[in-house]
């Protein structure tokens, strides 16, 4: 038995698992943000509820583990930021602990039992509040020891013009400290920022997509610009990694029409030609973080 966790800035989800296909979720808890002792105690309460003695604890978490220092960078949960989290949790819980970034766990889940099964190279893309990703090659997570691979959202790669006809795109500051990152115009907040910039109107990402699908011209213009800006960096990821499938998770993946637009644009900008969709909706719709954590706990490699 393994106890796996999917930990975000608002909630800690726990589950018991005997295999990645057999996951039994436990009631979620609020994430303690500023008290490490409470953070550990919350994990302990989940372990107590799970019962028995697990082989290990496997965690999908927001943030990135530095592969050299083993310290986590996690702005969403201040009490763990900068800690050697795996080592400290092992000492506190008296169990082996493995940890991976939540986007990496999403990619691992999709490669193992989702849209990426039977593909040798899988790039899992997140289009949620922001932009993230993870890379699985030959069933193995590239970031198995921690690291920054897959972070296609954080590089100054945004075009200076986009859309048909093209318009100038401002260079926005990114929360990572750089300027012009894909994250500033991709994801839900990026879509909203683009709509405000172009039309001087504030709408939620859901409202923009709904208006677009209902034939609204302003929303269609925003979507056109968004797709243009996002598809080129994604095409670059494909050319560099050789990925043959890109399962997408996050809130924007709920719009299959939007994914179809991104897919068509991205496939038109890569060297290899596919006669099938490349950018697809992720199949692990329920708890991909827990599924990925389970796979991580069972050796971090999919069959």
Q: Where are the domains of the chain?
A: 2-104+286-297, 117-281
Per-residue pLDDT band at 301 (split at 50, 70, 90): low
- Assess contact for 151 and 174: CB atoms under 8 A: no
| CATH superfamily, with its number, for domain 2-104+286-297 | ATPase, nucleotide binding domain (3.30.420.40)
Residue 302: pLDDT above 60?
Answer: no
Q: How high is the pLDDT of residue 19?
A: 82
Give every strand in the sheet of 121-127, ordered side by side: 140-141, 131-137, 121-127, 246-249, 279-281
Residue 303: pLDDT above 60?
Answer: no
pLDDT in tens, 81-134: 999 999 999 999 999 999 999 999 999 999 999 999 999 999 999 999 999 999
| Class of the CATH domain delimited by 117-281 | alpha beta
Q: How high is the pLDDT of residue 177?
A: 85
Q: How high is the pLDDT of residue 193?
A: 97
What are the two backbone dihedrals, phi and then psi, of residue 72, each rounded to the nearest 5 degrees? Answer: -95, 140
pLDDT in tens, 22-66: 889 999 999 999 999 999 999 999 999 988 889 999 999 988 899
Distance CA(126)–CA(106), nearest Å, equals 8
pTM assigned to the model: 0.92
Q: How high is the pLDDT of residue 157?
A: 82
């Amino acid at each position: 038995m393994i106890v796996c966790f999917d930990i975000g800035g608002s909630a800690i989800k726990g589950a018991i698992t005997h295999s990645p296909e057999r996951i039994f979720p436990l009631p979620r808890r609020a994430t303690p943000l500023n008290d490490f002792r409470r953070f550990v105690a919350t994990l302990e309460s989940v372990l107590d509820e799970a019962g028995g003695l697990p082989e290990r604890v496997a965690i999908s978490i927001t943030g990135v583990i530095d592969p050299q220092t083993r310290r986590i960078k996690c702005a969403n949960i201040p009490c763990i930021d900068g800690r050697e989290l795996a080592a400290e949790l092992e000492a506190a819980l008296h169990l082996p602990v493995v940890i991976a970034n939540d986007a990496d766990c999403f990619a691992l889940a999709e490669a193992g039992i989702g849209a990426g099964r039977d593909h040798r190279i899988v790039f899992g893309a997140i289009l949620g509040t922001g932009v993230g990703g993870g890379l699985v090659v030959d069933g193995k997570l590239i970031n198995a020891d921690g690291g920054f691979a897959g972070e296609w959202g954080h590089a100054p790669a945004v075009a200076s013009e986009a859309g048909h006809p093209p318009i100038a795109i401002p260079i926005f500051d990114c929360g990572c400290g750089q300027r012009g990152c894909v994250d500033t115009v991709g994801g839900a907040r990026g879509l909203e920022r683009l709509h405000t910039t172009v039309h001087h109107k504030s709408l939620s990402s859901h409202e923009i997509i709904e208006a677009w699908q209902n034939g609204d011209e302003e929303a269609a213009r925003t979507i056109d610009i968004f797709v243009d800006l996002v598809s080129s960096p994604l095409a670059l990821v494909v050319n560099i990694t050789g990925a043959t499938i890109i399962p997408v998770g996050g809130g924007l993946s709920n719009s299959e029409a939007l994914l179809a637009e991104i897919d068509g644009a991205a496939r038109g900008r890569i060297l290899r030609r596919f006669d099938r969709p490349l950018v697809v909706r992720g199949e692990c719709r329920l708890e991909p973080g827990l599924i990925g954590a389970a796979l991580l706990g069972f050796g971090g490699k999919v069959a």
